[in-house]
């Protein structure tokens, strides 16, 4: 298939592009390479896929030196005209939209960034999918949408109308916008609620990344809510396998959908929502201990109060994922963190 991936210099986008080009798909990746975190890490990811930094100029299209079926364009998804021109020219079979302004805490300090990156950009993706019909539009949502919901594990059948951060609200808005376009224009759309993704080539703003960095350098780590938190940590390879399974099966209308008892995860439109999580929440302190074990070094911990916009526990119900795709993430944190720490030490040349 011919596939457009937005955010291919990002963590998930890089891994997805790498997997798809290695399996023979024709992939075009776009990313604006902003400075939310170190752009050098983003350029390093691109280099793995054969895209050299010195060739990545603003709005410049570069064909990979390693893979003839991979092209990269430095472009912002907010640039509707350029995005429309690209999609009109290329006629993609599938769009996987991963570009977004990430971060729960960052959204409290920089709300405007989320309006542009997560709302305007997603509207542009929907519009190009409308005017240049695709077989399937897959987009990243987030476990953050569950907000104040206390039903465990989090189910896609749950109400998610009480987000506790602007980031979460923007992801919930994406799901609503997608449903509207699926309903009006019959665009098959599938939203994927990712649960705390971690692994090699990860984002430096994520806790596990900064924990590793600070422990190595003998600096204190900040642990919020005094460590009384659980996360459904999901290894990057499991996320990628989930995306690919779902990508290849476009959303279809649910013929049994009941408007009097609506299921939020499906519709009479070709619209679906799935959780992709490990279905096994881990205590934050146990996660830190696993990092310590791999580094053979103890952390200096500063315990802090709960941060605004955060939640104490995440836990994915993946029943629909299992039913529809016979797939369930299963990588343990022991294996996943071993892989991450090994990558970190190699990438940053730490003996």
**Span 135-179, pLDDT tens digits:** 999 999 999 999 999 899 999 999 999 999 999 999 999 999 999
Q: What is the pLDDT of residue 309?
A: 80
Active site residue 167: yes
Q: What is the pLDDT of residue 308?
A: 86
Handedness of CA 126, 328, 163, 198 (dihedral sign): negative
- Is the CB of residue 250 less than 8 Å from the CB of residue 135? yes
Cis peptide before 153 (omega within 30 of 0): yes
User: What is the mean pLDDT of the segment spanning 290-319?
Assistant: 94
DSSP 300: E
70-74 and 26-31 beta bridge pairing: parallel
Task: Report pLDDT digits (tens) over 12-70.
Answer: 999 999 999 999 999 999 999 999 999 999 999 999 999 999 999 878 899 999 999 99
Q: What is the pLDDT of residue 79?
A: 95
User: What is the mean pLDDT of the segment spanning 87-107?
Assistant: 93
Q: What is the pLDDT of residue 106?
A: 84
CB atoms within 10 A of CB 170: 25
Q: What is the pLDDT of residue 107?
A: 83
Nearest to 103 by CA among 163, 165, 30, 172: 165
- Is the CB of residue 90 less than 8 Å from the CB of residue 48? no
- Is the CB of residue 63 less than 8 Å from the CB of residue 46? no
Strand partners, 191: 139, 273
Task: Report pLDDT digits (tens) over 250-304.
Answer: 999 999 999 999 999 999 999 999 999 999 999 999 999 999 999 999 999 999 9
Residue of higher predicted confidence among 261 and 307 = 261
Q: What is the pLDDT of residue 282?
A: 96
Q: What is the pLDDT of residue 307?
A: 86
Q: What is the pLDDT of residue 108?
A: 82
Q: What is the DSSP string of 145-203?
A: GGTT---SSB-TTS-----SSHHHHHHHHHHHHHHHHHHHH---EEEEEE--EESTT--
Handedness of CA 217, 311, 243, 76 (dihedral sign): negative
Check whether 109 has a pLDDT greater than 90: no
If you average pLDDT over every residue of the chain, what do you get? 96
Q: pTM of this prediction?
A: 0.96
Q: Which residues contact 339 (CB under 8 A, 6 or more apart)?
A: 199, 200, 235
Q: How far is CA 51 from the centre of its chain?
A: 22
- Is the CB of residue 243 less than 8 Å from the CB of residue 16? yes
d(CA 49, CA 231) in angstroms, rounded, equals 31
Q: What is the pLDDT of residue 58?
A: 79
26-31 and 61-63 beta bridge pairing: unpaired
Catalytic residue of the set 167, 198, 271, 327: 167
Sequence-ordered strand ranges (E) for the chain:
2-6, 26-31, 61-63, 70-74, 94-97, 136-142, 189-194, 197-198, 220-223, 230-231, 234-235, 271-276, 282-283, 300-303
């Amino acid at each position: 298939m011919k596939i457009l991936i937005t955010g291919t210099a990002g963590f998930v986008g890089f891994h997805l592009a790498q997997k798809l080009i290695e399996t023979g798909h024709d992939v075009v990746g776009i990313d604006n390479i902003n400075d939310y975190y170190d752009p050098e890490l983003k350029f390093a990811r691109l280099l793995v896929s054969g895209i050299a930094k010195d060739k990545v100029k603003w709005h410049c299209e570069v064909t990979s030196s390693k893979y003839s079926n991979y092209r990269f364009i430095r472009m912002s998804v907010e640039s509707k005209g350029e995005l429309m021109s690209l999609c009109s020219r290329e006629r993609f079979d599938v769009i996987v939209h991963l570009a977004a302004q990430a971060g729960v805490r960052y959204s409290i300090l920089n709300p405007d960034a989320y309006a542009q990156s997560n709302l305007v950009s997603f509207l542009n993706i929907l519009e190009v999918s409308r005017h240049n019909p695709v077989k399937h539009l897959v987009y990243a949502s987030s476990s953050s949408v569950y907000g104040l919901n206390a039903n465990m594990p989090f189910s896609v059948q749950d109400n998610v109308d009480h987000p506790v951060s602007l980031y979460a609200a923007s992801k919930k808005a994406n799901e609503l916008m997608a449903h509207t376009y699926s309903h009006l224009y019959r665009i098959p759309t599938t939203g994927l609620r990712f649960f705390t993704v971690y692994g090699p080539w990860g984002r430096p703003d994520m806790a596990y990344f900064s924990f590793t960095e600070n422990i190595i350098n003998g600096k204190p780590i900040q642990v919020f809510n005094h460590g009384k938190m659980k996360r459904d940590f999901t290894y990057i390879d499991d996320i990628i396998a989930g995306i690919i399974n779902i990508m290849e099966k476009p959303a279809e209308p649910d013929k049994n959908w009941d408007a009097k008892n609506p299921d939020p995860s499906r519709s009479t439109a070709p619209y679906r929502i799935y959780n992709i999580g490990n279905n096994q929440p881990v205590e934050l302190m146990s996660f830190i201990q696993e990092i310590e074990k791999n580094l053979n070094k103890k952390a200096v911990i500063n315990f802090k109060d709960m941060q605004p916009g955060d939640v104490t526990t995440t836990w994915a119900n993946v029943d629909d994922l299992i039913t529809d795709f016979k797939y369930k993430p299963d990588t343990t944190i022991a294996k996943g963190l071993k892989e991450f720490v090994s990558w970190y030490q190699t990438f940053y040349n730490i003996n």
